[in-house]
Chain A
Amino acid sequence: MSPTEPFPTDDVPSLPVPAGPSDTDEVLLSVRGLRKSFGDNEVLRSVDLTVGRGRVLALIGPSGSGKTTALRCLNGLEVPDGGTIALGSGDRHVALDFAARPSRRQLAALRDRSAMVFQHYNLFPHKTVLENVTEGPRVVQRRPAGEVRTEALALLERVGLADKRDVYPFQLSGGQQQRVGIVRALALRPQLLLFDEPTSALDPELVGDVLGLIRELAVEGWTMVIVTHELQFAREVAHEVAFVDGGRIVEHGEAGRVLREPQHERTRQFVHRLLHPF
């Protein structure tokens, strides 16, 4: 499958599929020297990240470390003060240098390559489940309504929510809402999926559903960056873990190694505290 036509048309219904196999060494996301301040508060000092296509990176770290801000920069929800982001493969590659103040058009292009799943779902309450999923593809991407609908229904079917397509978000449990949030992201046909603490707002018994779905996406080969506090999950699902502290990546490596044998003292303390809270 060529990178310019990543969506199968032969099997019906067609589903968005990941940007490509993970057996290449292609770099999908490359972040260099990312800086961001809010007033006097320097949240990102210098963040460097590289994520290969089909790889899953978990960002872990204490609250206020900057991991969520870093994630939001990737989708242009925050505009960094400096540094570069290169994202996307094939003809969907974009590279932005934030020191040179990217234009609105460039930011839109960056945003187009990724899709985000929010901690608090942020579904549109005045739209039905199906409308939540089709809004972006139909209204923003202007794809044909019939095709968008078929694909959205197939995606909902896949997460077990096809029968909920005509209900409003308030009628769903937190876990169901978050699965719709994930489907909404997938329907945008992004090359990179971003998750901002996707299970932090969920009741404990609903966490499993959502994590299970994310694991499936990882197995399918989606490229993902996940901000999470679920170390167990990070160890199982992520290929790599980056520990963020004080606006910098303190340690970045293979997931099992970073979580089992952290090299840095701060990583060691953090992992220990999360694994042994009492």
Chain B
Amino acid sequence: MKQSPEQELDLIIDSLNQERKPQQELDKEAAELLAVVRTVKKLGQPKEPHPEFAQRISHTIRRRSSRRWITIPAAALVAGLLLVTMLINWNALFTGDPVYAMEKAVAKLSDYHGMLEMRSRNAAGEEWTVRQVELWSEGDKYAIRQNDGVLTVNNGEQKWQVRPQSREVALLPVAPDPAGKGFDLRDEAKRAMKYPNRVTGNEIIAGRQAIKLKISPPGGLPYYLWIDTKTDLPIQLQTAMQNALQTTYTFVSFTPNTGIDPDIFAYRPPEGYRVVENDPGQQVATVAEAAAISRLTPALPEEAPERIFAFTDRIVMDYGETTIVETVAKGAFEPTANSALGTAAGGPLEVWYERLRWRQDGIEIEIEGSKRAALAKQIAGELTLPNTAVSLTENAAVKIPVDMDIVRADQQQVDGGHTPWQLDPLQVSLTFVNLLITPEGITGEPTIPYGSFKLKANNGAEAVVTVGAGPVKQVYLKRLIRQDETGIWSVVGYDPRK
């Protein structure tokens, strides 16, 4: 909700009284009033700097001068480079950038415990609490207790769910665990760094002073993140209004670096509870053990995994932030229509968000996470990732002009969950070609069916689709708003069939 000018000025005065820099974005009126407030405040007592400030300055001088003036012996070169890196970060730390401070705070976070509340609001402004969960997190381990008492725990070695109503403990696969714990502080910090953002104000959230940050994914609707000024950690996330519904996640209580009781992550089924197993897999020490259990011979990268899990039909190799899943290949390999395409082991490679998927020696390999490209190259040998530097669309015989206002509106529609077919270059091509044939609209089955459209190339930003029949031979498409899996495709040209 936009603040009134009176409220805005009130927050500005509060910031200055609390010896903090006002964080609001200012229009001319607000900037003038702030200048007046600063001038009037000159009549008050100036505040001395923090006692440790002299030390801080001295530290800065020492770092700066040592970088420039002290001869560094060769043996200390690596340490020196590290110092320079620290220096750069140090400087950024004091520019007052809350996102940077958040990134640093998240990096220092060893564990946390809190109550996370999820509230929804509809377009009419009605708000209700969806649920509240208690959350413990320590590195890769986490535990979540829902309102109904159901407790889900992943201790890195085992994952289970305690269900009091049915008095059972369900063993679940440890990896991969894409859902994780939902609103994750680390993920939110990463996202805020990735997209354009700006501070829009200061607010009290759950009794804590917080900086409100507006995050604007390119072409998408902005959403908001609140950062606790005391801990520099995110405490509230509010999604954009999608499908007339907006969700707010709030840490109504939160304690960072609290030293969580290890018992929380210990697997001890309560007495009288039935243990339910549905192939939770098992951690094994060697690849040979995994092969024996899963009955498949895995393709292995040079780098050894941290852990290996074997299931009856698959092997999961865990590299921390990256996971490899290998299964027996079944049927034809069909890349997701919206994925970018590369090549691996002489065949097609699907690139989908942070996941690579391809087939090799009768095995389907999926790698998800930050180290995916390096590990995929180790397994496949030959690996070509989509190259956006090479234009796929410039050779279109007929260029199609694009109205960016319409494209932006379409993107927002899709972001809101409507017309998802615009994410599929085959569907967009089908609609375009069939509307060329019947400009009055497509009624019933389209003249040129979906099966006639094949993805020839897709580098993530541009795509070429071949058409098996009809007046068009090839369709050229671009992601004009966002060049990732959430960006819609627009037709920018085509080659007529001669």
Q: Do A and B bind each other?
A: no
Q: Please report A residues at the B interface, Cβ cutoff 8 Å.
A: none
**Chain B residues at the A interface, C-beta cutoff of 8 Å:** none
